[in-house]
Structure 1
Amino acid sequence: MSVKRLSNWKLIAYGQLVMPLAVIGLPVAIYIPPFYSGTLGLNLAAIGFILMIARLSDVVTDPLVGALSDRTHTRWGRRRPWVLVGIPLMMLSGYMLFVPPGEVSNLYLLIWISAIYFAFTLIVIPYSAWGAEISGDYQERNRIAGSREIFLLIGLLMSITAPIVGAYLFDHDGNSAGRGAMAVLGWLPVALLPVCGLVMFLSVPEPQPKQIQNIPFRKGLRIVMRNGPFRILLTTSVLGALAGSINAGVAVLFFEHVANFGTMSSVLIFLLFAAGVVGSPFWVTLGNRIGKHKGIAVAGIASLSAFALVPVVIYAVKPDHPDLVLPLMLAITLVQGLSMGAAPILGPSILADVVDLDTLKSGEQRTAFIFAFLGMVRKGAEAAGVGIALPILGWIGFNPQIKTNTPEALFTLTAMYCLVPLVLWVISVSIIWRFPITKERQKRLRTALEKRVARRAAAQVAETEIRLFE
């Protein structure tokens, strides 16, 4: 069976929408805690609790939007209307979050962080499902996810560069989490989102759904939870999300208070994502050759081997050779960056293969619901990560507004940045290695699915003809 290869323009037109989402998504994770605590003066533990509560709202909204998107039928498609609604909400909430008025309160943060998470749901769930449905081919799905990941990393690079430029232009103290630096982040999505959305709407068609039947929600939920490959993917994703949330939530604090990088923190983060752009095409190729799940595992082993050296650098090298800390951390970051593209590229591609199995079992193409269900659980884990890390730091006595914290507070910060995530990531990598859907099995799934859809279509034609002659 020959597969139509997508044009480069369609790959670009689809992938580029994620760029403005990344511009605002990363700062929400890494800049909101230091900005709202260090610059605006809110309590760090309260911020962690607010971020957790706002994130938990996605437990309701994600599956709801996913299910409604799957069953939306308009002349413009199933996915476009939802993305179209989400874009203006994202623009408004991003601006209010990063360009706040003079005084802010916990309630202000809760309102706008909740609004921006809801906007992400409205855009990302249908957008991800749209990408999974563009092609049913094992390798083409890697290309689609690869295009999205490259633009994601470009957006992340912009999100790192923008605060540096903003701090230089508007904040005289050079604070990358100051009001001027954050204001640039608030305005960027306002400028980019309408343009990127228009490009995708005009250039990327929505395929017709391979619908066999509609099933009740509860029955569909039981079917997906009996899906063995989905359960494996769910478990490894939850562990990875929990680890990533704990790590990202304290990364800036670790760089400033433990590693003492100062303004070099932004350079380190920039290198991470720049290396990610360079390494992304390699993971598409490797995933095609050895299997997507093994590609993720290989990248994880490489990244974690380097990341495990962070405590060695801090506790063995730094006391006697502080001048070596930055170059060693740069080397570790480079390895992590080159490896970081594997999971975001190959993971959604794997999930698209899982959707094929679910469609075969349930009879309904529920792409957005499957992506939303996984996203819902991941976001719950992310909420738990922030809700765990920041309150623990506050309880142990860590204060982001002072330069000298206790050794116990600094060790806890190091544990939250490195040691705890490291254990969770190791378990996650060991689980994904055993994922059962290979390239050969996915081809058999697609063949069986196409045959079932064809039989259903033929039966409907025959039924129509019988009615005509009655």
Structure 2
Amino acid sequence: MSKTAEEVKRIEEPYVCSKKERLGHALGVLGHDGANTMRGYTMPFLTDILQLPAPFLMILTTLGQVLDAFTDISMGVIADRTRSKWGRFRPWVLRAGPLFCIFMALSFLKLPIGVVGMCAFAGFMYIATGSFAFTAVDIPFWSLPAAMTSNTKERSEIIGGTTTCSSMIIGLTGIVVPLALSAFGKFEWTSYFFTAAIIAVFAICMYLTSFKLVREHVVPDDSVKFSLKLGLKSIFTNQPLLCVQIANVFFLLSIILRSYLNYYYCTYNLGNLSLAAVLSTINTIGMVSGALLFTIFSKRIGKRNCLFISALVCLTSNLVLYFSGWSNVILLFTCAAITTVAIGFGYVCVNAMIADTIEYGEWKTGQRNEAMITSTRCFVTKCVGALASVLVLSSISLTGFVPQATEQTLGALNGFHIMYSLLPAITMVLAATPMFFYKLTEKRHAEIMVELAARKEKKENK
């Protein structure tokens, strides 16, 4: 391949999305991640409010992870094969999005059916909400940018804008929910349910708005029959994708652990759940700032180097927090601010790198599989979420944690602190390691785009 990136600019697909369409995808994530962030409070609800046995919850999260291995890839296949007047992915936003919101709200019900009955009900809602309803909308929603445009720059702009809005709504939800729970009674199940119901209504409105505004401009060639074998090949022979997803495992573990522990850490280590709202405010500003910084630095130093920087900054700030303890709240907030800027920086980077591997998979197999490749991202996210839940539940089981007790054992407090600071520091080192083997640089991607364009031109001229 002798053509340069400058030559690619002259033959790449034009920008095709209107501002309204870009806005539509960004609005969709307000509902999508708003509802999903509320779903993250399921674990405190199950442990503190319903007080279900920790061994049962560990079995439940493990079962959910096993099911996700099938539902994520299956949904990727279904979405890639979907054909409708609305496109491949928009129908799922219209139908599965509201269904997920309803299931999410119902997950916070407490029924007078005893411990065994509540275990059965909670288990069903956990699986139905996470492994089925959420999967049915999550994969199509994040596949949309690749279907909206084949211009990589335009797609990166869409992903960047949506990810920035994602960070904002995650942070805003993290502010509102702790305040709502504190105001209405943090140990009352009705506080969780009514908060979830309000968020669900908002999310449904955002899903419907996104469906109406977004359009899919990249139409698959219906003359080419979909091949599951090629789809799987586009995943398992996609070396850049595997490198990014291995890094993503550890990167997400750091993010999700801190997210899951915010409730416990603020309630018991800091002694004030309302401080979770302060941390969420810091996180929101930090994530948005990091996302904006990525758009500047990625053009100058490349995505891989951006991920290295993100990991190094997170490692340093988390080690400082670990050795300083939790008594200095100002230092804790400072470390949180530095960490979240770096996380926001790296989070957009990972999403953009995964999107780049779609063309690599197409180059390898001749078949474009946006949804199947996106499904690997969703699968990894849910697996890591389940692993984070198991780690939190293990700490609860092994360190003498007592639900709703104002005074916790030193072992329980140290357990929360280690998982909030030291463990994320270690995972960031592991996240950076696969990037030494990642070869899909911006230049290499440009060369692949040249060859794909040549193949398309040759096929059209036949």
What is the TM-score of this pair, normalised by structure 1? 0.87
CA deviations 1:55-94 (Å, max 9, x no partner) are: 4321111111111111111111111122222123112112
The answer to whether residue 402 in structure 2 is matched with residue 404 in structure 1 is: no
CA distance in 2, matches of 1:187, 1:408: 36
Q: Map of 1:325-404 to 2, 5 A cutoff?
A: 325-404=328-407
Aligned with 1:114 (options 96, 108, 127):
127
Letter in 2 for 1:431: P
CA distance in 1, matches of 2:182, 2:414: 32
Tell me which residue corresponds to 1:306. 317
The answer to whether residue 96 in structure 2 is matched with residue 86 in structure 1 is: yes
Aligned with 2:51 (options 41, 44, 53):
41
Letter in 2 for 1:115: A
Letter in 1 for 2:80: D
Q: Map of 1:97-136 to 2, 5 A cutoff?
A: 97-101=107-111, 105-117=118-130, 118-136=132-150
Tell me which residue corresponds to 1:468. none
Tell me which residue corresponds to 1:267. 278
Q: CA deviation at 1:33?
A: 2.3
Look up the SS of the partner of 1:440 in the other structure. helix
Tell me which residue corresponds to 1:188. 198
Tell me which residue corresponds to 1:151. 165
Q: CA deviation at 1:449?
A: 1.1
CA distance in 2, matches of 1:423, 1:447: 39
The answer to whether residue 77 in structure 2 is matched with residue 64 in structure 1 is: no
CA distance in 1, matches of 2:173, 2:112: 23
Q: Map of 1:231-250 to 2, 5 A cutoff?
A: 231-250=242-261
Q: Map of 1:199-210 to 2, 5 A cutoff?
A: 199-210=209-220
The answer to whether residue 175 in structure 2 is matched with residue 161 in structure 1 is: yes
Q: Map of 1:314-325 to 2, 5 A cutoff?
A: 314=325, 322=327, 325=328
Cα distance change, pair 181–340 in 1 and its aligned pair in 2 (3 A): farther
CA distance in 2, matches of 1:407, 1:449: 59
Structure 2: segments with no counterpart, 5+ residues: 1-9
CA distance in 2, matches of 1:452, 1:53: 44
Letter in 2 for 1:408: G
What is the TM-score of this pair, normalised by structure 2? 0.88
Q: CA deviation at 1:150?
A: 1.9
Cα distance change, pair 33–195 in 1 and its aligned pair in 2 (3 A): closer
CA distance in 1, matches of 2:444, 2:66: 35
Between 1:331-340 and 1:426-435, the stretch displaced more is 426-435
Cα distance change, pair 34–342 in 1 and its aligned pair in 2 (3 A): same
Letter in 2 for 1:113: Y
**Count of residue pairs the alignment pairs up:** 446
RMSD: 2.5
Look up the SS of the partner of 2:298 in the other structure. helix
8 Å CA contact 1:245–1:383 kept in 2: the answer is: no
Cα distance change, pair 4–192 in 1 and its aligned pair in 2 (3 A): same
Cα distance change, pair 48–403 in 1 and its aligned pair in 2 (3 A): farther
Tell me which residue corresponds to 2:42. 32
CA distance in 2, matches of 1:279, 1:235: 22
Letter in 1 for 2:15: K
Q: CA deviation at 1:332?
A: 0.8
Tell me which residue corresponds to 1:462. none
Look up the SS of the partner of 1:74 in the other structure. coil
Aligned with 1:431 (options 425, 429, 434):
434
CA deviations 1:123-146 (Å, max 9, x no partner) are: 110111111232334433321111
8 Å CA contact 2:230–2:367 kept in 1: the answer is: no
8 Å CA contact 2:47–2:54 kept in 1: the answer is: yes
CA distance in 2, matches of 1:138, 1:19: 23
Q: CA deviation at 1:381?
A: 3.2
8 Å CA contact 2:33–2:166 kept in 1: the answer is: yes
CA distance in 1, matches of 2:285, 2:243: 30
Look up the SS of the partner of 2:407 in the other structure. coil
CA deviations 1:21-69 (Å, max 9, x no partner) are: 222222322x222222222322344334323322432111111111111
Aligned with 2:237 (options 211, 226, 235):
226
Aligned with 2:457 (options 454, 459, 463):
454
Between 1:58-67 and 1:147-156, the stretch displaced more is 147-156
The answer to whether residue 414 in structure 2 is matched with residue 422 in structure 1 is: no
CA distance in 2, matches of 1:218, 1:72: 17
Tell me which residue corresponds to 1:465. none
Aligned with 2:295 (options 268, 280, 284):
284
CA deviations 1:132-191 (Å, max 9, x no partner) are: 2323344333211111112212221332233245336533xxx2x643542343123432
Look up the SS of the partner of 1:123 in the other structure. helix
- Find runs of 4+ consecutive structure 1 residues off by over 6 angstroms: none
8 Å CA contact 1:37–1:44 kept in 2: the answer is: yes
The answer to whether residue 271 in structure 2 is matched with residue 257 in structure 1 is: no
CA deviations 1:334-367 (Å, max 9, x no partner) are: 1122222223322222112101011111111111
